[in-house]
Amino acid sequence: MNRRGVTRSWQVLLIGGASGSGKTSISYRLANHFNVGITEVDDFQAILERMTTPEERPELHWWPTHPEAIRLPPDEIAEHTIAVCRVMAPALEAVIKNHLESKAPVILEGDFILPALAAQTSFCGYPGDGQVRAIIIHEDDEAQLLRNFEERESTSQPCGRG
């Protein structure tokens, strides 16, 4: 039970889903309700992209190097997103382990979370003990998702390598 008298049965809550599905809004409400920290997984993706080259991690660099990708069929967009999720999984696993060890509850929110991550029984060798949970947000309206995605991507500005 935290200082507000709210109990939770997890140390790490993963909130994933497609871009524009409402993950961030829900995540911040839950973080406030449970009085826990929140980290946007997109920040990790940005860090890893910045610290690698397209030759080292082509999956991480695919979206910025293919601006026309927004026009791909949904199954191809999903395929490229899942490729990024797979690259991100070991980094997220290390962050999850850190929060389990330190007993510092956190919500990890973002596009690049594989649901299977929450089903793992250990994280970098550290037992999960059922303390990692996941919520996957789904938006049925594909047109709304596309509008949200296009709006978000049109305002993104790349950060060049220094």
CATH of the domain at 102: 3.40.50
Those residues with Cβ within 8 angstroms of residue 78's Cβ, 6 or more apart along the chain or in another chain? none
> Tokens 């449970």 correspond to what residue?
34
For residue 161, what pLDDT is reported? 42
Residue 4 lies in a domain: no
Closest by CA to 159, choosing from 69, 58, 45, 77, is 45
Domain for residue 27, yes or no? yes
In terms of DSSP H, where are the helices of the chain? 23-34, 41-50, 58-65, 74-102, 116-119, 142-154
Does residue 162 belong to any structural domain of this protein? no
Total domain count, the chain: 1
Q: What is the pLDDT of residue 153?
A: 63
The two structure tokens encoding residue 146: 């596309």
* Type and span of the H or E element at 137: strand 132-137
What is the pLDDT at residue 64?
87
Pairing of strands 12-17, 106-110: parallel
**Which residue is listed with tokens 């500005």?**
157
Q: Is residue 159 part of a domain?
A: no
Residues of the chain where predicted confidence (pLDDT) is lower than 50: 160-162
Domain-located, residue 74: yes
> What tokens were used for 91?
């980094």
Distance CA 14, CA 38 (A): 10
In a domain, 69, yes or no: yes
Say how far apart CA 9 and CA 107 lie, in whole Å: 13
Are 102 and 130 contacting, i.e. CB atoms less than 8 angstroms apart?
no
Please report whether residue 61 resides in a domain: yes
Q: Which domain holds residue 27?
A: 12-154
The answer to the question of residue 6 being in a domain is no
- Contact by Cβ (8 Å): 108, 41: yes
